[in-house]
Amino acid sequence: MRILSLVILVVTLYLSNQKTESPHGSAFKVSCKTCHSAKGWQLDKEIYSFDHSKTKLPLNGGHSGLNCRLCHISLVFSEAKSECYQCHKDIHQNTVGFDCGRCHTAASWLVSNIEAIHRTSRFPLLGAHRTAGCIDCHKSESYARYDVKGVLCIDCHRDDYNATTNPNHIQAGFSEDCSICHPINSFQWQGSGFNHSFFPLTQAHAALKCSDCHISGNYAAAKPDCYSCHQADYNNTVNPNHKTSGFPTSCEQCHSTAPGWKPASYTQHDTQFFPIYSGSHKGKWTVCGECHPNPANYQLFDCKRCHADAHKGKNYTNAQCYACHPRGAGD
């Protein structure tokens, strides 16, 4: 009898020291009564109080009404996945990476911030690209893959480059870097933004079309000197007659790019011939014809129109005036 009592005591002590192993894994430390009640081991929603917001995957949006077992396939909760792609099929086939949160939220798969997403990519949506449809650039059979030909303009616009005839881009040897001439934030190809600083397009040149100066398909053949384009203007000008007067063909010596060729100045007159912008004649004349009455021959000049009686009746010729006063009165 005493032996039987001893056996019962040993068994009781052994059983009292055993704990039921949790099916949720040995690392799970949440109290059973957070989810279960005396009703049974099924989840008791009336007393369920587990704070899922403190886990790697808060139950927001579309996740809030899910059955636990959809994510917790195993009762060992630490085995549950927390990354989107681990539960959701990647319909984009890894063409946008695995970070679904860049485009989607837990509330919906719909994407409403395409522009913001693109601003963090290699190709921000500016200008006409803001109104382009996704499939215009991301072409695929499923419309779900987001492959791109590239991020350079020419990658998508080679047909435009090849088909352009005014000017002919291929014949002219234009760069395939479209952004040199066409601003990416523009809604049209016209309105070139080409850096023409080697020949500034100012004033009268500002409204010209490319073909006004680049008359051949080879844009590099255009010459930067004025005379190459304005030879006819030089030859046809009669007041003063540039050709017969032997004026230099470097138009910029007298003219700016102001429309109408005016105002014109010939400051070289002071050092090469006679001071009219300095000395005693400065500010004393308005037009060239005051001293050069014959616009066909500017080698002729008339001092006596202003200085008729400079020497009290002495009738000197213009050549004699100049011979004594090569720098003007008093010189």
Q: In degrees rounded to 5, what are phi and psi of residue 215?
A: -80, -15
The C-alpha atoms of residue 321 and residue 315 are separated, in whole angstroms, by 10
Contact 223, 230 (CB under 8 A): no
E strand segments, 97-213: none
DSSP-assigned beta bridge partners for residue 37:
40
Q: What is the pLDDT of residues 181-240, one digit of tens each?
A: 888 877 877 655 677 878 888 999 988 888 888 887 677 788 889 999 999 999 999 888
Closest to 297 measured CA to CA, from 232, 240, 237, 254: 240
Dihedral over Cα of 22, 28, 29, 33: its sign: negative
Q: pTM for the full model?
A: 0.48
Q: What is the pLDDT of residue 7?
A: 44
The C-alpha atoms of residue 195 and residue 177 are separated, in whole angstroms, by 13
Contact 118, 126 (CB under 8 A): no
The residues near 77 (Cβ < 8 Å, ≥ 6 apart) are: 24, 25, 28
| Ordered per-residue pLDDT tens for the chain, 331 residues | 566 555 454 444 444 444 567 888 888 889 999 999 999 988 898 998 999 988 888 888 888 888 888 888 889 988 888 888 888 888 888 888 888 888 888 888 888 788 888 888 888 888 888 888 888 888 877 778 888 888 888 998 999 999 988 788 888 888 899 888 888 877 877 655 677 878 888 999 988 888 888 887 677 788 889 999 999 999 999 888 888 888 889 999 899 999 999 888 888 889 888 999 998 899 888 888 889 888 878 888 999 888 877 787 778 888 888 888 988 876 5
Other Cβ atoms closer than 10 A to 251: 21
Q: What is the pLDDT of residue 20?
A: 62
Query: What's the whole-number average pLDDT of the chain?
Result: 84
**Structural domain spans, the chain:** 21-82, 88-147, 152-222, 229-324
Q: What is the pLDDT of residue 230?
A: 94
Contact 107, 60 (CB under 8 A): yes
The C-alpha atoms of residue 185 and residue 155 are separated, in whole angstroms, by 17
Q: What is the pLDDT of residue 10?
A: 44
Q: Is the peptide bond before 263 cis (omega within 30 degrees of 0)?
A: yes
Q: What is the pLDDT of residue 131?
A: 84
Q: What is the pLDDT of residues 104-142, one digit of tens each?
A: 888 888 887 888 888 888 888 888 888 888 888 888 777
Q: Look up residue 105 and give its two tokens.
A: 């939220």
Q: What is the pLDDT of residue 37?
A: 92
The residues near 207 (Cβ < 8 Å, ≥ 6 apart) are: none
Q: What is the pLDDT of residue 11?
A: 41
Contact 71, 80 (CB under 8 A): yes
Q: What is the pLDDT of residue 205?
A: 92
Long-range contacts of 193-201 (CB under 8 A, 24+ apart): 198/224, 199/224, 200/257
